[in-house]
């Protein structure tokens, strides 16, 4: 808008005068008011962290969901410990309507007060006319809310009961990290621990009520509703509270440590939770032993509940763990080795949280990795090892956790494991693969450095010291240092407080090592040089050795005239190792000789390191491509194959764009390798040990994708099986490679409309696990018409 000069100047002067006058008035008013007010009220609730002077001690919580109406109401009485005279109390709420707020003392005398919401911090603020004296006070709040605002907080879920084809409802909770405040007013930070007595009022259509503790009593109210009261819990964080109201059935097993373990699910699928039930009972007993603290010190029961709509894989509510259906329901007649692995892993992860997370909790979300890193570490190395040792779970740790995270952590965009979380809005972002994958990997490295027994003793001390409380990363390091005499913090800060990781170069001729940050893009420059304290494990013959490498370069006295030196035994460390080309040649020769001492984890790590070093321009691609020739005799474990396949997929996708000659060569090589192995494995068999069952579908997809039909029956046979299954779903494809066959079938160029539609209609009615496989297959086809239709159907 054009300005009119004269008017502007006049108006400007007038405005300036007005401002001066106003300012004088305001200053006068302010001075006056601050003199006349008795005590200015500091607006402490503007701090988005809760105060430490008002702590919850116990909650009596009653909730009443009205499932058909999609609403709930409730009331809570919180016993507070006020440690300093105060006239302000604030706690969290979100999307709750508060109908009454009351504060009273131990003799029941009410305090006169005002209460209001401060939405920016999700607070309910109560100010009292007269200050509260230090000591015990009670805060009672009545509230109501909605069950239909999403699938976190307290929400309504539903499922279709297959036999009757009717829709059934349940109400359930998911509170981590900041959603308890959507269900009831609470001090919703992990270190504000308190005990809970939960009461649920529910309709007989959902007769089964579950919460963290066992049922204390039930009665029928005059209204005909059921009132279920649960026993008082131990001290715990708000985000672990849970209540579920459903019509679910259950299976149960008394674990050998006398904990009653139950699985809950809709009646039509309850029998398919038996696998998870058995795993849970095994794992619980193993963890009791490892941690030296019996689970039943806290709760006499453990429930595992299948929730139809669930935002995460599973949630470790203490005593009542909730799962997405695919992670707990397994039909033994259609389950693949992959499905079994997934369920065994998730159960072992969640149960580890009963200690790491529930019994001892991180003080604040910036140390979330203590919960999640430990749960992953325990799941693979101890939980699954106790429950399903024949899976060889630690080897799968390499591909599932370590290697995939190392790819992310080799970018400039990475971040340290411990990130300062100032504002609560940043909490959800902390649940990423650096927290889970790198967190668990550096713990595995530390355990290897300190020794498994020392490490375990340290962990036991940590649990005794911080039981029912909170701890920070440094508290754990301090306990482990005391146990071992090692300055653990100095070593581990280099892994937890800086992003990225090093590549260690070993020069056998000069007997030296050097380190620098590993970045997968050779054009990236490190913003600042970082060094790590790298525990370097290696073997001479079969004797393990270890040294800590802290500086930029170091001479090492590895005495190996006769032995081939391979650093980072079993891929225990979170770093890569590079060698001179002649040393790599020796390694490749060793891999090809069948009597080498390289373990399966060594082999997987050599493959991944060499490909990633080549990607970063630190090694010629001829080395990894020559190394993988040895895979033609890798028949017993899927992990080296899996390492190779993900790297090959990346190389293939890059070449596809740039160089068709090279693409053809790579295709010929992978086809040869895949087919050679597939033939030896008997491609359509289901027998053999567990890792072999995992290996078959992996190699099958590789071979079928790249195969030359004239020399390889893979694709032809897969198409045949696929078409038989399309004709009649009882022509079952053996479960281990059901997904592989359907995906190969859907990827054929001649796929017809009828075939696509049959797969779609089976997807619609499939059980949760089969649904995942069919969903992937639907996305695997190449015809754009079908892909567009799929997207339209999804929307």
Ligand X SMILES: *[C@@H]1O[C@H](CO)[C@@H](O)[C@H](O)[C@H]1NC(C)=O
Per CB under 6 A, the list member of 46, 220, 753, 757 interacting with ligand X is 753
| Shortest Å, Cβ 398 to ligand X | 25
Return the structure tokens found at 226.
């059921």
Closer residue to ligand X, CB minimum distance, 371 or 483: 371
Closer residue to ligand X, CB minimum distance, 596 or 636: 596
Closer residue to ligand X, CB minimum distance, 490 or 679: 679
Determine if 81 is a binding residue for ligand X (CB under 6 A).
Answer: yes
| Shortest Å, Cβ 327 to ligand X | 20
Per CB under 6 A, the list member of 166, 595, 657, 730 interacting with ligand X is 595
Per CB under 6 A, the list member of 559, 731, 761, 788 interacting with ligand X is 559
Determine if 144 is a binding residue for ligand X (CB under 6 A).
Answer: yes
> Token match 């020069």: residue?
507
CB 92 within 8 A of CB 188: yes
Closer residue to ligand X, CB minimum distance, 151 or 662: 662
For 384-425, the DSSP string reads HHHH-GGG-HHHHHIIIIIIHHHHHTTSTT---SS----SGG
Residues in the chain: 795
Return the structure tokens found at 123.
């607070």
Distance of CA 620 to the CA centre of its chain: 36
CA–CA separation, 429 vs 406, rounded Å? 19
Per CB under 6 A, the list member of 90, 124, 138, 630 interacting with ligand X is 138
Determine if 153 is a binding residue for ligand X (CB under 6 A).
Answer: no
Confirm whether 350 is a catalytic residue.
yes
Closer residue to ligand X, CB minimum distance, 426 or 753: 753
Return the structure tokens found at 136.
């015990």
| Shortest Å, Cβ 312 to ligand X | 25
Three-class SS state of 238: helix
Burial of 30 (0-12, 13-18, 19+ CB in 10 A): exposed
- Convert residues 633-672 into a mask of x (bound to ligand X by CB under 6 A) and - (unbound): --------------------------x-xx--x-------
- DSSP character at residue 204: T
Output the CA–CA distances (angstroms, integers) from residue 375 to 225, 353, 357, 442, 714, in the order listed: 39, 6, 9, 13, 39
| Shortest Å, Cβ 326 to ligand X | 19
Q: Which stretch binds ligand X (CB under 6 A): 141-149, 352-360, 399-407, 415-423?
A: 141-149
Per CB under 6 A, the list member of 717, 726, 775, 787 interacting with ligand X is 717
Per CB under 6 A, the list member of 333, 525, 593, 730 interacting with ligand X is 593
Determine if 110 is a binding residue for ligand X (CB under 6 A).
Answer: yes
Strand ranges for 632-757 from DSSP E: none
| Shortest Å, Cβ 41 to ligand X | 7
For 276-335, the DSSP string reads HHHHHHHHHHHHHHHHSS-GGGT-SEEEEEEESS-SSSEE--TTEEEEEGGGT---TTT-
Residues binding ligand X: number (CB under 6 A): 42
Is 415 marked within a binding site? no
CB 268 within 8 A of CB 205: no
Closer residue to ligand X, CB minimum distance, 44 or 158: 44
Closer residue to ligand X, CB minimum distance, 102 or 583: 102
Per CB under 6 A, the list member of 553, 597, 785, 788 interacting with ligand X is 785
Closer residue to ligand X, CB minimum distance, 404 or 620: 620
Determine if 195 is a binding residue for ligand X (CB under 6 A).
Answer: no
Residues between 30 and 59 that touch ligand X (CB under 6 A): 39, 42, 47, 49, 51-52, 57-58
Q: Is the peptide bond before 635 cis (omega within 30 degrees of 0)?
A: no
CB 376 within 8 A of CB 439: yes
Q: Which stretch binds ligand X (CB under 6 A): 143-151, 176-184, 386-394, 547-555?
A: 143-151
Return the structure tokens found at 272.
């398919």
| Shortest Å, Cβ 713 to ligand X | 5
CA–CA separation, 46 vs 42, rounded Å? 9
| Shortest Å, Cβ 542 to ligand X | 12
Q: Please identify which of the residues 122, 189, 316, 350 carries the catalytic annotation.
A: 350
Question: Which among 684, 696, 776 has a CA at the least distance from the CA of 337?
Answer: 696
Closer residue to ligand X, CB minimum distance, 77 or 758: 77
Q: How many CB atoms lie within 10 A of CB 452?
A: 11
| Shortest Å, Cβ 356 to ligand X | 19
Is 202 marked within a binding site? no
HSE-up of residue 167 (Cα within 13 Å, Cβ side): 6
State which H helix or E strand residue 591 sits in. helix 581-592
Determine if 361 is a binding residue for ligand X (CB under 6 A).
Answer: no
Residues between 212 and 271 that touch ligand X (CB under 6 A): 268, 271
CA–CA separation, 101 vs 105, rounded Å? 14
Question: Which among 43, 229, 58, 72 has a CA at the least distance from the CA of 139?
Answer: 58
Distance of CA 735 to the CA centre of its chain: 27
Binding site for ligand X (CB under 6 A): 39, 42, 47, 49, 51-52, 57-58, 60, 71, 77, 79, 81, 83, 97, 102, 108-110, 138, 144-146, 191, 197, 268, 271, 363, 559, 593, 595, 659, 661-662, 665, 684, 713, 717, 752-753, 783, 785
**Binding annotation for Zn(2+):** 349, 353, 372
So which residues are the catalytic ones? 350
**Binding annotation:** 349, 353, 372
């Amino acid at each position: 808008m054009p300005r009119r000069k004269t008017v502007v100047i006049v108006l400007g002067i007038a405005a300036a005068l007005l401002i001066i006058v106003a300012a004088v008035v305001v200053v006068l008013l302010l001075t006056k008011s601050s003199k006349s007010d008795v005590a200015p009220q500091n607006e402490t609730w503007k701090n988005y962290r809760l105060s430490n002077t008002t702590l919850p001690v116990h909650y009596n919580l009653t909730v009443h969901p009205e499932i058909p109406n999609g609403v709930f109401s409730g009331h809570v009485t919180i016993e507070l410990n006020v440690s300093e005279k105060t006239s302000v109390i604030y706690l969290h709420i979100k999307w709750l309507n508060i109908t009454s707020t009351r504060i009273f003392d131990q003799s029941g005398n009410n305090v006169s007060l005002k209460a209001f919401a401060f939405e920016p911090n999700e607070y309910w603020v109560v100010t009292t006319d007269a200050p509260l004296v230090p000591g015990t006070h009670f805060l009672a709040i009545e509230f109501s809310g909605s069950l239909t605002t999403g699938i976190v907080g307290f929400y309504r879920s539903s499922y279709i009961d297959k036999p009757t084809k009717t829709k059934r409802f349940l109400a359930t909770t998911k509170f981590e990290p900041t959603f308890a405040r959507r269900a009831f007013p609470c001090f919703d930070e992990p270190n504000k621990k308190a005990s809970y007595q939960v009461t649920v009022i529910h309709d007989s259509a959902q007769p089964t009520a579950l919460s963290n503790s066992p049922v204390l009593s039930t009665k029928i109210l005059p209204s005909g509703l059921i009132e279920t009261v649960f026993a008082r819990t131990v001290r715990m964080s708000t985000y672990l509270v849970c209540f579920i109201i459903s019509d679910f059935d259950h299976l149960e097993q008394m674990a050998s440590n006398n904990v009653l373990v139950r699985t809950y699910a809709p009646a039509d699928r309850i029998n398919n939770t038996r696998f998870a039930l058995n795993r849970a009972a095994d794992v619980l007993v193993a963890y009791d032993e490892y941690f030296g603290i019996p689970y039943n010190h806290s709760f006499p029961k453990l429930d595992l509940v299948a929730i139809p709509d669930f935002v995460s894989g599973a949630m470790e509510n203490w005593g009542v763990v909730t799962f997405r259906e695919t992670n707990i329901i397994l039909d033994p007649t259609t389950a693949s080795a992959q499905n079994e692995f997934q369920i065994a892993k998730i159960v072992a992860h969640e149960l580890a949280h009963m200690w790491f997370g529930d019994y001892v909790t991180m003080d604040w979300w910036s140390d979330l990795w203590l919960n999640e890193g430990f749960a992953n570490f325990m799941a693979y190395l101890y939980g699954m090892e106790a429950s399903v040792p024949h899976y060889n779970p630690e080897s799968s740790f390499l591909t599932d956790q370590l290697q995939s995270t190392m790819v992310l952590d080799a970018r400039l965009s990475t971040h340290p494991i411990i990130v300062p979380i100032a504002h609560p809005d940043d909490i959800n972002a902390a649940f990423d693969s650096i927290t889970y994958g790198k967190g668990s990997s550096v713990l595995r490295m530390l355990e290897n450095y300190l020794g498994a027994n020392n490490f375990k003793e340290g962990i036991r001390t940590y649990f005794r010291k911080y039981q029912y409380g909170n701890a920070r990363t440094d508290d754990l390091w301090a306990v482990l240092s005391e146990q071992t005499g090692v300055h653990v913090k100095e070593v581990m800060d280099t892994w937890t407080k800086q992003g990225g990781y090093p590549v260690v170069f070993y020069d056998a001729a000069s007997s030296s090592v050097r380190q620098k940050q590993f970045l997968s893009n050779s054009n990236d420059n490190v913003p600042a040089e970082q060094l790590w304290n790298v525990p370097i494990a290696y073997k001479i013959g079969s004797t393990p050795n270890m040294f800590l490498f802290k500086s930029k370069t170091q001479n090492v006295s590895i005495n190996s005239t006769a032995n081939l030196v391979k650093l980072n035994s079993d891929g225990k460390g979170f770093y890569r190792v590079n060698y001179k080309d002649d040393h790599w040649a020796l390694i490749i020769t060793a891999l090809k000789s069948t009597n080498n001492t390289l373990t399966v984890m060594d082999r997987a790590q050599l493959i991944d390191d060499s490909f990633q070093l080549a990607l970063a321009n630190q090694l010629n691609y001829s080395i990894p491509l020559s190394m993988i020739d040895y895979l033609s005799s890798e028949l017993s474990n899927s992990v080296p194959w899996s390492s190779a396949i993900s790297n090959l997929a990346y190389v293939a996708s890059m070449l596809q764009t740039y160089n068709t000659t090279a693409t053809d060569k790579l295709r010929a090589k992978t086809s040869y390798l895949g087919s050679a192995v597939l033939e030896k494995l008997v491609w359509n068999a289901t027998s053999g040990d567990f890792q072999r069952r995992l290996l078959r579908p992996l190699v099958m997809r590789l071979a079928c994708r790249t195969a030359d039909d004239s020399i390889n029956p893979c694709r032809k046979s897969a198409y045949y099986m696929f078409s038989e299954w399309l004709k009649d779903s009882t022509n079952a494809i053996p479960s281990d490679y059901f997904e592989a066959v359907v995906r190969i079938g859907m990827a054929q160029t001649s796929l017809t409309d009828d075939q696509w539609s049959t797969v779609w209609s089976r997807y619609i009615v499939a059980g949760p696990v089969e649904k995942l496989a069919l969903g992937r297959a639907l996305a695997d086809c190449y015809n754009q018409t079908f892909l567009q239709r799929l997207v339209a159907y999804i929307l």
